[in-house]
Amino acid sequence: MQWSQVLPLWHASYNWAMCHNEEKYPNPSEFDPDRFLNPNGTLTDDTVSVVWGFGRRICPGRYLGEASLWSAMACLLAVFKFSKTKDETGRENEINPQWKAGITMRLQPFPCSITPRNGEMDIAALQDLIRVSV
């Protein structure tokens, strides 16, 4: 039996190179969501479609995947306020994203503050919201 890779190494390096193109994405290794905003604050048309593959091997579920992510993020942002944690003096702590490499890149846990936008929402309502969303 001959050993073969599941994903050819050239394929992975090709995708990495496309997502780290400094002409298209200045400082590609920095976390900068603003690169996907126009000067007036609207979203650009760049969807980084390279992550879904190419040609006849393109992911058939890409539209469902993008729509599901958009819907999940919109729901989270509508219900919760995400902000930086504060130190003892009340100043915001800066977030320094750390990534863990492996088959995929994963963001390491970091401190943040997640609070309900509706101050009257109680813990039971939050737990019920979590229960029905899983």
pLDDT in tens, 114-131: 888 887 877 787 788 778
Classify residue 66: in a domain, yes or no: no
**Cα–Cα distances in angstroms (integers) from residue 89 to residues 25, 85, 114, 122, in the given order:** 36, 11, 19, 28
* 26 band by pLDDT with thresholds 50, 70 and 90: confident
Predicted confidence band of residue 92 (pLDDT cuts 50, 70, 90): very high
Residue with the larger pLDDT of the pair 36 and 17 = 36
Higher pLDDT, residue 48 or 35: 35
Same domain, 84 and 36: no
pLDDT of residue 84: 92
Nearest of 2, 5, 35 to residue 20 by alpha carbon: 35
In a domain, 65, yes or no: no
- Ramachandran angles phi, psi of 128, nearest 5°: -65, -40
Which tokens belong to 3? 């050993």
Number of independent structural domains in the chain: 2
**Per the annotation, does 19 bind a ligand?**
no
Whether residue 50 is found in the same domain as residue 104: no
Judge whether residue 4 has pLDDT over 60.
no
Residue 69 lies in a domain: no
Element of type H or E holding 116: strand 113-116
Q: What pLDDT, on the 0 to 100 scale, is given for residue 11?
A: 53
Q: How far apart are CA 22 and CA 28, in angstroms?
A: 6
Write down the H helix ranges in the chain.
Answer: 9-19, 62-79, 123-133
Is 73 domain-assigned?
Answer: no
Asked if residue 70 is part of any domain, the answer here is no
Looking at the structure, tell me whether residues 55 and 100 fall in a common domain.
no
pLDDT of residue 74: 92
Answer whether residue 116 is part of any domain: yes
Same domain, yes or no: 52 and 1: yes
Q: Which of 3-12, 22-31, 59-68 has the lowest mean pLDDT?
A: 3-12
Structural domain harbouring 97: 78-134
Task: Confirm if 37 and 28 have CB atoms less than 8 A apart.
Answer: no
35 within some domain: yes
